[in-house]
Amino acid sequence: MPLFERIQDFPLQSIATPLGEVAYRSAGSEGQPLWVLLHGIGSASGSWLAQLQAAQQSGVRILAWDAPGYGQSTPVKPAQPKASDYAAHVWAWLDALGCQQVHLVGHSLGCLMASAAAQAQPERVKHLWLLAPAAGYGLADPQVRERKLHERLDKLQTLGPAGMAAQRASAMLSPAASADQLAWVEHTMAQVIPAGYTQASQMLAGDDLASYLTGLACPVDVACGQVDRITPAQGCAELAARLGLPFHLLGEVGHACPLEAAERVNDLLFTTSSELA
């Protein structure tokens, strides 16, 4: 069954919070150990399809949001936000759903959001997983930050979401990825809302992942595909080594590892759920 059809098993829901609406997909049942999944800059809740599908057999509950400014989710207020602004929306969303203890998973830019959320309310986070983490350019030279930001936003303005997706989708995957996976990544990226993507780009340019990870009490693991062209494995391994964190290679897969390395990612996230519940 094509991925476009499978996502229909996990329809979008929405809930009001003091900070606005949050759209999300869910799987599993209340009372099971809860995993909260935060997607990357060119993505959405549907990028976690393989994890949503695995929820029941893994005995876990999953909530995967559309980040602020994506889909039907209310944007963050600052034009140049920090990860902490997105983290506030994470906890407002989970509070509205009555959720307490969680396992947080970020992918790419979502790692910044997840790490900031863990720093903000560490007592509620059992484990933090960083998949293909985007480190941010907050500590880079200002000229580098501006160049990276303008390259990204110029491409968005010139090509539009659909054109950007057509050009960039293949870079998210390995050459071995299926046509169905490529089509799904391109479809998801083509749905980004320019204003929300711009805010997320500002956050990527101005924030620093490592600053949110120092001193966290919960376990933190880093994982990445071996042929990731967006956040290369060497850089992810160096980040983990610098912070003293476990590092996991996910095989010959690209940046969209939750999709392309679904079995390996699911094993990493869910096989220890009984121990971490």
Say yes or no to pLDDT of 139 above 90: no
Q: Helix, strand, coil: what percent of the chain each, to 5? A: 50, 15, 35
Q: How confident is the model at residue 276 (pLDDT cuts 50, 70, 90)?
A: very low
pLDDT (tens digit per residue) in 2-60: 787 889 999 999 999 999 999 999 999 988 999 999 999 999 999 999 999 999 888 99
Say yes or no to pLDDT of 232 above 60: yes
Q: How confident is the model at residue 256 (pLDDT cuts 50, 70, 90)?
A: very high
Residue 272's pLDDT is: 57
Say yes or no to pLDDT of 273 above 60: no
- Distance CA(103)–CA(126), nearest Å, equals 5
φ, ψ at 105 (rounded to 5°)? -130, 125
Sheet order of strands, 247-249 included: 13-17, 20-27, 61-65, 34-38, 102-107, 125-131, 220-224, 247-249
Of 57-61, 85-89, 191-195, the poorest mean pLDDT is in: 57-61
- The dihedral formed by the CA atoms of 136, 137, 139 and 144, expressed in degrees to the nearest 10: 170
Q: Are 114 and 128 in contact (CB under 8 A)?
A: yes
Q: What percent of the chain has pLDDT over 90?
A: 90
Say yes or no to pLDDT of 161 above 90: yes
Residue 5's pLDDT is: 87
Say yes or no to pLDDT of 274 above 60: no
On average, the pLDDT of the chain sits at 95
Residue 11's pLDDT is: 97
Q: What is the fold, at CATH topology level, of the domain defined by 3-276?
A: Rossmann fold (3.40.50)
Structure tokens given for 142 = 């200002």
- Beta pairing class for 102-107 and 34-38: parallel
